[in-house]
Amino acid sequence: MAKLKILEFPDPRLRKKAVPVAAVDDALRQLIDDMFETMYDAPGIGLAATQVDVHRRLLVADVSAEKDDPYVLINPEIVARDGLEVSEEGCLSVPGYYEEVERAEHVRVNYLDRNGAAIEADFDGLLAVCVQHEIDHLDGRLFVDYLSEAKRQRIRKRLQKDRRLQIQETAVVL
């Protein structure tokens, strides 16, 4: 198992469109395990392969309080959506910022599970929000894209400033 590095906005690699997974094999399952370790450690409720610089259509999620309800969605396709709801979203690639985003309330998704079996499942509540947020990552989209240009710029500038300060602090300790 290995913890992977999470890319942060505005890294251009977060804008790449992921390609379909060709084979669900042991190498992919190793990546899935590493993504779960990275997500639980963060901690987060979901993680898309794009965020760890792997541009394949794969996401993991676990929105349970006990962290004992893992989902793996390979080549996910939303085939139906219903209702609208606004909820507060955050993102491990945009650390420290939470903003309201409107999403479908219910989604039906076709995908492959970690054994390569074809699944059609209905998601609602937080899991529906999370799955839509993760599929956006696979298409190179971030939740900040739903905000105004001014808000997005403010977040980008503050994150870049935070990073400069982090580098400076590290230099002082060294």
Min separation Cβ 22 and ligand GNR, Å: 23
Min separation Cβ 118 and ligand GNR, Å: 24
Min separation Cβ 174 and ligand GNR, Å: 30
- β-bridge mates for residue 108, sequence order: 80, 122
Phi-psi region of 105 (alpha: psi -120 to 50; beta: other; left: phi over 0): alpha
Residue 34 makes contact with ligand GNR by CB under 6 A:
no
Phi, psi of 170 (to 5 degrees): -60, -40
Note whether 52 and 7 are within 8 A (CB). Answer: yes
Q: Active-site residue 134, yes or no? A: yes
Distance in angstroms (rounded) separating the CA atoms of residues 49 and 12: 15
Residue 129 makes contact with ligand GNR by CB under 6 A:
yes
Residue 130 makes contact with Ni ion by CB under 5 A:
no
Active site residues: 134
Binding site for Ni ion (CB under 5 A): 91
